[in-house]
Amino acid sequence: MSINLFDLTGKVVLVTGAAHGLGMAMAKGLGNAGATLVINNNTPANLVAAIEEYKKCGLTVHGYSFDVTNESEVMQSIKKIETEVGPIDVLVNNAGIIKRTPIVDMEVVDFESVIKVDLVGPFIMSKHVAKGMIERGGGKIINICSMMSELGRTSVSAYAAAKGGLKMLTRSMATEWARFNIQTNGIGPGYFATSQTAPIREDGHPFNDFIINRTPAARWGDPEDLQGAAIFLSSKASDFVNGHIVYVDGGILATIGKPSNED
């Protein structure tokens, strides 16, 4: 009997921050692979609208509103999810924020807020979801990292610090939990075409030209480009893959500069 290594039928997948953008794109891919989706957002109105969008796509989805940085809320919500929907087989730590401010101008409270959501949040979520996975003998955790896990860039110091930390947290989780048949990996998106990047993707915009020229694939990523990596890391196909960051960036991290057209 043949086995579809990428089939997620019967799996309960929790994706935080999946009411829009890249989180929603990944969640849709996971749902189309058969997963029962649980999505999170800390704004109830956004959650309701997102659930309608998923249902229009014919996907099975459940929504829960809670703050990933509030440990008591997280614990209560995980218990509720596992009672009402089922044990969480896959956790995707996608919720995140960014504040674009030069270091010398950034307030400590703003720096700390980014670290709390982008790094402490995945720690809290993973800590409590992993407890159930350990008891059941396995699971998958996917941390959404960034190219800023590897590269610096002006005005995003807090985000880069958090994502660099998340890369190392991913490796630490893999080190501690692999013996329990838990695979912990990350996905590092490059530059993607979303509603947030629309203003800087216009033809002739300096940043649009920079990204097109800097990316060997010579284009922005489509949110659906993340679905394959998400499905792979959620599925049986990745059962011996642990502690890695899969960069979905069109090749940016592979090159030192502007690609050449010469052979």
Q: Identify the CA nearest to 90 among candidates 34, 41, 51.
A: 34
Q: How many whole angstroms separate alpha carbon 31 and alpha carbon 54? A: 9
Rg (C-alpha) for the chain, rounded Å, is: 18
**Catalytic positions:** 159
Q: How many whole angstroms separate alpha carbon 261 and alpha carbon 263? A: 7
Burial track 194-221 (b if 16+ CB lie within 10 A, e otherwise): beebeeebeeeeeebeebbebbeeeebb
Q: Are 217 and 250 in contact (CB under 8 A)?
A: yes
Q: What's the DSSP call for residue 224? A: G
Compute, in degrees rounded to 10, the torsion defined by CA atoms 55, 61, 62, 63. -70
Burial track 160-192 (b if 16+ CB lie within 10 A, e otherwise): bbbbbbbbebbbebbeebeeeebbbbbbbbbbb
CB proximity list for 51: less than 8 A, separation 6 or greater: 39, 61, 63
